[in-house]
Structure formats: C-alpha cells, structure tokens
Homo-oligomer: A and B are copies of this chain.
Amino acid sequence: MAMELRRPERTFTIRQLCTEFKATPRALRFYEDKGLLTPARDGMNRVYSYKDRARLILILRGKRVGLSLQEIREILELYDEGDDAMHQNAHSLKKFREKIVVLEQQREDIEGAITELKTACERLETRLAEKRPDLLPKAADYDQMLRARLDGHAEMAMGK
C-alpha cells in the first residue's frame, strides 16, 4: 500500500497537494484558471497526476524567484511541446535570455543583502550583549529555527 503511493500512476486530491506544498485550494484553482494546470476530473472533482504535481512544483519555485504566473506559463508551455509556433519560441528565447540577466542581477543583490543583514545582525547582537544581554535569543529559539529549516529541507527533498 505504501508502495502504491510511490507509483507514478498515483493521483492527488487538491487538498493533498495543498498540504504538501502549503498552498490553498483557491490558489490551485486560480492557476488552473490561468492555464498553468489542467488536472483531470472525476465527476466534478479535480484529480491531479504526478505530472500535474511536477508542474505545481515548477510554478511554486517560479513564484519564489519572482516570476509572474504569465511567465511561468510560458515556461510550462515550452515543456508541453507539440505545437508549431516557432515564432513563439523565438520570442520565448529572447524573453528567457532577458530573464536570466535579471535573475543573475537578483542573485548579486541577494548576496549583497545577505552579507548586509549579517553585519547588521552582528551589530545588533554585540550591542544587545553589552546593554541588554537578557534580550538575546535563548537556545530554545535556535532549536525552533533549526526545526523549521529541517522541515523545509524535508519538503524540498520530497519535491525533488
């Protein structure tokens, strides 16, 4: 039975995907409205395949890096293949190249922001240590943070 869950014929309900990826049903239906997902139906109800789930993963990651749903759809359509529109493809190619430039800039920005935040943290920490050491975070807080990170990574691993 547990093995069944791993078989690629497996399907998912909307809620299963929502809880797995911390999304809402509203969001998934919205993505469907916008043409990013097209799950099958069992009567009225949506039935998500493994492929749908893979698309959802791409959607969510696209969002995290700041792509619009429209841009994400273009990428997904590329993977769909099968149609003729080569002009479309030429256009996509150009837009993707532009997006890569933007993302590389973003990566620089983020690295800068990370180091800046870290130095700000150090400043805060030493100042707090001097004047109000009682306000410094306790070991328990760190524990909770670590838990959160591990949870996050567990999901990532499953997603992959």
Chain A residues with CB under 8 Å of chain B are 61-62, 64-67, 75, 78, 86-87, 89-90, 92-94, 96-101, 103-107, 109-114, 116-118, 120-121, 123-125, 127-128, 131-132, 135-137, 141, 145, 148-149, 152
Q: Are A113 and B145 in contact (CB under 8 A)?
A: no
Q: Which residue of B lies closest to A135 (CB)?
A: B90
Q: CA–CA, A135 to B92, complex, Å?
A: 12
Least Cβ–Cβ distance between A105 and chain B, in angstroms: 7
Q: Considering residues A92, A120, A123, which has the most beta carbons from chain B within 10 angstroms of its beta carbon?
A: A120
Q: A62-B113, A105-B152, A113-B65 are in contact. Are A100 and B128 (CB under 8 A)?
A: no
The 3 A-B pairs with the shortest beta carbon distances in the complex, nearest first, are: A90-B135, A93-B124, A65-B113
Interface of A is mostly: helix
Q: Which residue of B lies closest to A87 (CB)?
A: B135
Q: CA–CA, A66 to B124, complex, Å?
A: 22
- Between-chain CB contacts (< 8 Å), 17 pairs: A65-B106, A78-B120, A78-B124, A89-B127, A90-B128, A90-B137, A92-B124, A94-B141, A97-B121, A98-B145, A100-B114, A101-B148, A101-B149, A103-B110, A103-B114, A107-B111, A107-B114
